[in-house]
Amino acid sequence: MSENNPFEIAQRQLDECARILNLDDSIRDILRVPMREIHVSIPVRMDNGNFRVFKGFRVQYNNARGPMKGGIRFHPDETIDTVKALAAWMTWKTSIVDVPLGGGKGGVICNPKEMSDGELERLSRAYIQSISEVVGPEKDVPAPDVYTTPQIMAWMMDEFSKIYQKNQFGLITGKPLELGGSAGRGDATARGGCYTIREAANYLGIDLKGATVAIQGFGNAGHFAASLVSSLFGCKVVAVSDSKGGIMDENGLAVEAVIKHKVKTGSVVGFPNSKPISNIELLELDVDLLIPSALENVITSDNASNIKAKIICELANGPTTPEADEILYNNGIHVIPDFLANAGGVTVSYFEMVQNFYMYYWEEALVHERLDKKMTSAYHATLHASNKYNVNMRKAAYVVAVERVVKAMQLRGRI
Ligand code: GLU
């Protein structure tokens, strides 16, 4: 058993939940594995004229509550086990916010930072082609994740539409607004997380105005989080980081200027008048709120006892190992677990699907209002289970989410 294999972690978390719920072993065994996993080899012509074969995956974990749903990651360190874990977490994520969807995930082993736009487009089109038989608006609906963008979603939607010879906007979410995207999808993950932070702070009696925040990761989720905690709550963002390193300013970073700096230079590093800080140091800062927004396994048994934040809002998937979870819980740190904290993305993806199906688009304010309602009730359902079973918020979120999936499976006669 390794502390860092994401799929083993997902299975251990489920086992613990099955124990709390007294689930039948056979039901637990069904939920421990994906319904289907697809491995594809994707030949792509590179700019130098040669073909390169990329490895890709799509894991369809569970569709008891509705079509599979989950993003696609383009990452050099992608593995089938990460994708399987992420697909499991999507199943619990759609369930905790109670949207009528299941869970899935995709990934391609590649480094988009070293590819030209043309290569990226050809890879995106070839990947969706290679899984086109098993995805679709009523089967399995992908979305963006680490290093994938609205532009990539647009290429995939276009390629899929060509195969079906009609527009298939409902294939994929996180599309550009001009192509059936939803207002409010861009910052939905961070915004949804902020709604849970607001509820947690209320519950714990923490005043968010002037509260200090450290954010690890400055991508799809992290950079929006930095700007929203400042604009919505008046928090003071004292440190942020990306894969190249971090920056710090005790008096608060000028977040919008940091975003501009990153757009211009490719990193937050070197932002004028800030102090350099490593990703590891950032996690251990004495702040009120810590928002891991990058990759898995950054809070482990090695550093958990050094963490000083009062609230951790996990916008990343899988940032905390089970060993670290126990340490954080014993130290009284309130963790808003990943598949609850970052469920705002898939919630607005669900809204996007609804809008695509009925071809009528909502104002951004309506998206925010409906997102707030979903996140707030998911947070309180979790908090309630945490108090009822006397377990940490992650275990509580599992209890709520897994019970709903089990119920759907029972009603369908699958178990
Ligand atoms: N990739 C995001 C996640 O992990 C969004 C998934 C979606 O919108 O389907 O939640």
Q: What is the pLDDT of residues 271-330, one digit of tens each?
A: 999 999 999 999 999 999 999 999 999 999 999 999 999 999 999 999 999 999 999 999
HSE of 45, CA atoms in CB hemisphere, 13 A: 2
Query: To which H or E segment does residue 197 belong?
Result: helix 188-204
**Which tokens go with 312?**
């951790």
Taking the C-alpha atoms of residue 347 and residue 274, their distance in angstroms, rounded to an integer, is 35
CATH number for the domain spanning 227: value is 3.40.50.720
Q: Which of 346, 355, 375 to mutate to test the pocket of ligand 1 (most atoms within 8 A of CB)?
A: 346
In a domain, 21, yes or no: no
Average pLDDT across the chain, whole number: 97
Name the residue among 114, 130, 120 with its Cα closest to residue 55.
Answer: 130
Whether 210 and 129 map to the same domain: the answer is: no
Q: Give the DSSP letter of residue 299.
A: B
Which of ligand 1's atoms lies nearest the C-alpha of 173?
A: 8
Whether 74 and 140 map to the same domain: the answer is: yes
Whether 155 and 197 map to the same domain: the answer is: no
The neighbouring-strand residues paired with 43 are 53
Last residue of a domain, one of 127, 162, 179: 179
Taking the C-alpha atoms of residue 194 and residue 203, their distance in angstroms, rounded to an integer, is 14
- Residue 317 CA, ligand 1 centroid: distance in Å: 10
In a domain, 357, yes or no: no
- Residue 211 CA, ligand 1 centroid: distance in Å: 28
Q: Which residue is closest in CA terms to ligand 1's atom 9?
A: 70
Q: Which residue is closest in CA terms to ligand 1's atom 8?
A: 346
- Residue 67 CA, ligand 1 centroid: distance in Å: 14
Last residue of a domain, one of 279, 302, 336: 336
* pLDDT value of residue 410: 97
* pLDDT value of residue 2: 63
Query: To which H or E segment does residue 275 belong?
Result: strand 275-277
Whether 77 and 163 map to the same domain: the answer is: yes
Whether 200 and 327 map to the same domain: the answer is: yes
Query: Is 105 an annotated catalytic residue?
Result: yes
In a domain, 347, yes or no: no
Residue 289 — φ and ψ, nearest 5°? -135, 130
Which of ligand 1's atoms lies nearest the C-alpha of 145?
A: 1
Number of domains in the chain: 2
In a domain, 195, yes or no: yes
Which of ligand 1's atoms lies nearest the C-alpha of 142?
A: 9
In a domain, 199, yes or no: yes
Matching residue, tokens 């736009």: 117
* pLDDT value of residue 149: 96
* pLDDT value of residue 4: 85
Looking at the chain, the number of H-run helices and the number of E-run strands are 14, 13
Taking the C-alpha atoms of residue 74 and residue 53, their distance in angstroms, rounded to an integer, is 14
Whether 229 and 280 map to the same domain: the answer is: yes
Q: Which of 69, 78, 90 to mutate to test the pocket of ligand 1 (most atoms within 8 A of CB)?
A: 90
Last residue of a domain, one of 302, 320, 336: 336
Q: Which of 349, 350, 354 to mutate to test the pocket of ligand 1 (most atoms within 8 A of CB)?
A: 349
Ligand 1, CB cutoff 6 Å, lining residues: 69-71, 93, 143, 145, 173, 317, 342, 345-346, 349
Domain span at residue 82 reads: 34-179
Whether 202 and 141 map to the same domain: the answer is: no
Whether 110 and 41 map to the same domain: the answer is: yes
Please give the average per-residue pLDDT across 15-20, as a whole number: 98
**Which tokens go with 342?**
């970052």
Whether 260 and 313 map to the same domain: the answer is: yes
Q: How far is CA 392 from the centre of its chain?
A: 20
The answer to whether 95 and 404 have CB atoms below 8 angstroms apart is yes
DSSP per residue, 342-400: TTHHHHHHHHHHHHHHHT----HHHHHHHHHHHHHHHHHHHHHHHHHHT--HHHHHHHH
Name the CA dihedral angle for 26, 93, 324, 310, rounded to a multiple of 10 degrees.
Answer: -140
Residue 47 amino acid letter: D
In a domain, 391, yes or no: no
Taking the C-alpha atoms of residue 338 and residue 378, their distance in angstroms, rounded to an integer, is 12
- Residue 371 CA, ligand 1 centroid: distance in Å: 14
Alpha helices in 216-363 (DSSP H): 222-233, 255-265, 279-283, 322-330, 338-341, 344-358
Residue 334 — φ and ψ, nearest 5°? -85, 110
* pLDDT value of residue 220: 85
Which of ligand 1's atoms lies nearest the C-alpha of 93?
A: 10
Query: To which H or E segment does residue 407 belong?
Result: helix 393-412
Q: Which residue is closest in CA terms to ligand 1's atom 7?
A: 346
The answer to whether 286 and 293 have CB atoms below 8 angstroms apart is no
In a domain, 124, yes or no: yes
Query: To which H or E segment does residue 311 belong?
Result: strand 311-313
pLDDT for 69 beyond 80: yes
Taking the C-alpha atoms of residue 198 and residue 193, their distance in angstroms, rounded to an integer, is 9
340-386 pLDDT tens trace:
999 999 999 999 999 999 999 999 999 999 999 999 999 999 999 99
Whether 83 and 195 map to the same domain: the answer is: no
Q: Where are the beta strands (DSSP E) in 33-171?
A: 36-45, 51-62, 68-69, 72-75, 103-109, 140-141
Q: Which of 78, 185, 189, 371 to mutate to test the pocket of ligand 1 (most atoms within 8 A of CB)?
A: 189
Query: What proportions of the chain, in percent to the nearest 5, are helix, strand and coil?
Result: 50, 15, 35
- Residue 411 CA, ligand 1 centroid: distance in Å: 26
Matching residue, tokens 């002037």: 210
* pLDDT value of residue 175: 98
In a domain, 314, yes or no: yes
CATH number for the domain spanning 173: value is 3.40.50.10860
Whether 216 and 309 map to the same domain: the answer is: yes
Active-site choice (69, 84, 105, 395): 105
Taking the C-alpha atoms of residue 383 and residue 199, their distance in angstroms, rounded to an integer, is 10
- Residue 47 CA, ligand 1 centroid: distance in Å: 31
Please give the average per-residue pLDDT across 178-188, as a whole number: 97
Query: Helices 188-204 & 344-358, crossing angle to 10 degrees?
Result: 130
Which residues make Cβ contacts (< 8 Å) with residue 219, sequence separation at least 6? 146, 147, 242, 293, 294
Which of ligand 1's atoms lies nearest the C-alpha of 69?
A: 9
- Residue 243 CA, ligand 1 centroid: distance in Å: 21
Residue 241 CA: distances (Å) to CA of 228, 256, 265, 387:
16, 14, 14, 34
Please give the average per-residue pLDDT across 237-260, as a whole number: 98
Alpha helices in 284-362 (DSSP H): 322-330, 338-341, 344-358
Whether 65 and 174 map to the same domain: the answer is: yes
* pLDDT value of residue 378: 98
pLDDT for 1 beyond 80: no
